[in-house]
């Protein structure tokens, strides 16, 4: 992977009437990477994908591919191809005809089409299925046809719209790995749209998180998880328990923030999200948060933990490698903690509703603004 930008998106906006589907979004996609557009439904990720493919025209902003303006080009003139969510495999054509279609309309010689189609079908392990009609294929095989059909065009950019959402759980896991391997083999830049954070984390080299038409963060999966820019991103990429900040002071480099449930907490400077508000703006606009895997649960009072919360034992969910323990609190939604199966079993024996302590170290806490994109604004 090089660091060269293949796609540059600059202050791109798209309005439908007066509603902004995209609001001044800017970022780069690097050549040869798998880039994921992640966000809840209605966040603008599909609009962005349709702008990239040419089916929507942005209201303002720049869109460059290899430094050249892409906006005036019609969808059929762009070196960008897309795997649609419904796969959109042509039902009246055989698998081979489907894959050949993009080359046929390009006017490529028949002999070359034949070799390229065969090569492409081999790449997706469908070389035995060339003569079949789409209705004779399974959903997973139809998706492979859609993939072969775009790979054969050798595009600069390959777009995938929710590629795994229609597959069953087991096939989805297999296809995740296969997509990554395929991308490595062909070296084409992939852009994947998804609402499933675990899918994006598993596949992508980098992820752009979008919400309500605005870009929240572009980062690698581990950065996104460990160093989210705000509470929305932190919550969207995985479970996090947050506590509203009600007071704030600074001690040297560290922040001391007060919360109703936990009292005063000293947050080390390293755990403060980049671009946070001024100290006097923290109250009401930010939270301190902790992920379930950092919370310990014990039936006896812990000897030396920095943060301690007294609660009652709730449900215990067995998850295979570990268990998820619920801790019910009096005045706020319950917490969840990840515990080893042995610890969970010991807690289970003390009984539902028994008193337990949830405790963790402040080093594992994050101080996050509610919304980094309007930091400083009053809600």
- Contact residues: another protein, CB under 8 A: 53-55, 74-77, 80-82, 84-86, 88, 90-92, 101-102, 105-106, 133, 135, 146, 149-150, 153
Residue 53 sits at φ, ψ, to 5 deg, of -80, -15
250, containing H or E segment: strand 247-251
Contacts of range 198-203, beta carbons closer than 8 Å, 24 or more positions apart: 199/36, 199/164, 199/172, 200/36, 200/38, 201/225, 201/237, 202/176, 203/34, 203/36, 203/176, 203/179
- Report d(CA 331, CA 341) in Å as an integer: 28
- Looking at beta carbons only, is 87 or 232 nearer to another protein? 87
Interhelix angle for 169-186 vs 139-151, to 10°? 10
Helices and strands (H, E) in the chain, number of each type: 9, 21
Minimum distance from residue 53 beta carbon to another protein (Å): 6
Q: What length does the chain have?
A: 379
Nearer Cβ to another protein, position 76 or 304? 76
Provide the minimum distance between the beta carbon of 55 and another protein in the complex, in angstroms, as a whole number.
6
Strand order in the sheet with 254-259: 247-251, 254-259, 263-267
Tokens of 267: 């947050």
Nearer to another protein, 97 or 281 (CB): 97
Q: Work out how close the CB of 62 gets to another protein at its nearest, in angstroms, rounded to a whole number.
A: 22
**What is the DSSP secondary structure assignment for residue 232, as one 8-state letter?**
H
CB of 120 to another protein, least distance (A): 13
CB closer to another protein out of 54 and 228: 54
Q: Of 157, 169, 225, nearest to 193 (Cα)?
A: 157
Q: How far is the CB of 89 from another protein (least distance, A)?
A: 8
Report, in Å, the least distance between residue 164 CB and another protein.
Answer: 17
Residue with tokens 């215990």: 316
Q: How far apart are CA 309 and CA 329, in angstroms?
A: 8
Nearer to another protein, 82 or 240 (CB): 82
Residue of 292, 303, 273 lying closest to 370 (CA atoms):
273
Query: Closest CB to another protein among 7 and 82?
Result: 82
Q: CB of 210: closest distance to another protein in angstroms? A: 22
Single out the residue of 35, 45, 33 nearest to residue 3, CA to CA. 33
Residue with Cβ nearer another protein (147 or 339): 147
């Amino acid at each position: 992977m090089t660091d060269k930008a293949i796609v540059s998106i600059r202050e791109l906006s798209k309005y439908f009437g007066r509603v902004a589907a995209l609001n001044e979004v800017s970022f780069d996609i690097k050549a040869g990477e798998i880039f994921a557009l992640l966000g809840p439904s209605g966040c603008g990720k599909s609009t962005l994908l349709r702008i990239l493919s040419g089916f929507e025209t942005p209201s303002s902003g720049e869109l460059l591919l290899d430094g050249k303006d892409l906006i005036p080009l019609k969808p059929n003139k762009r070196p960008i191809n897309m795997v649609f969510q419904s796969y959109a495999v042509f039902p009246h054509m055989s698998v081979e005809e489907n894959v050949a279609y993009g080359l046929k309309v390009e006017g490529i010689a028949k002999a070359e089409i034949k070799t390229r189609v065969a090569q492409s079908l081999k790449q997706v392990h469908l070389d035995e299925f060339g003569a079949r009609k789409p209705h004779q294929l399974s959903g997973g095989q139809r998706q492979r046809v859609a993939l072969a059909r775009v790979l054969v065009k050798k595009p600069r950019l390959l777009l995938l719209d929710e590629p795994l959402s229609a597959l069953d759980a087991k096939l989805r896991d297999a296809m995740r790995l296969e997509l990554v391997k395929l991308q490595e083999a062909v070296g084409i830049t992939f852009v994947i749209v998804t609402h499933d954070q675990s899918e994006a984390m598993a596949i992508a080299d980098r992820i752009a998180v979008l919400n309500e038409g605005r870009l929240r963060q572009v980062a690698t999966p581990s950065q996104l998880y460990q160093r989210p820019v705000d509470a929305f991103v932190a919550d969207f990429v995985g479970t996090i328990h947050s506590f509203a900040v009600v007071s704030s002071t600074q001690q040297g480099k560290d922040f001391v923030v007060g919360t109703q449930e936990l009292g005063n907490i000293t947050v080390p400077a390293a755990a403060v999200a980049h671009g946070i508000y001024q100290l006097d703006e923290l109250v009401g606009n930010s939270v301190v948060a902790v992920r379930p895997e950092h919370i310990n649960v014990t039936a006896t009072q812990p000897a030396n933990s920095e943060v301690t919360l007294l609660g009652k034992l709730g449900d215990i969910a067995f998850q295979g490698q570990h268990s998820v323990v619920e801790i019910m609190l009096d005045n706020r939604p319950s917490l969840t903690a990840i515990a080893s199966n042995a610890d969970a079993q010991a807690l289970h024996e003390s009984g539902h509703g028994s008193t337990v302590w949830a405790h963790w170290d402040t080093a594992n806490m994050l101080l996050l603004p509610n919304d980094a994109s309007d930091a400083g604004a009053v809600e």
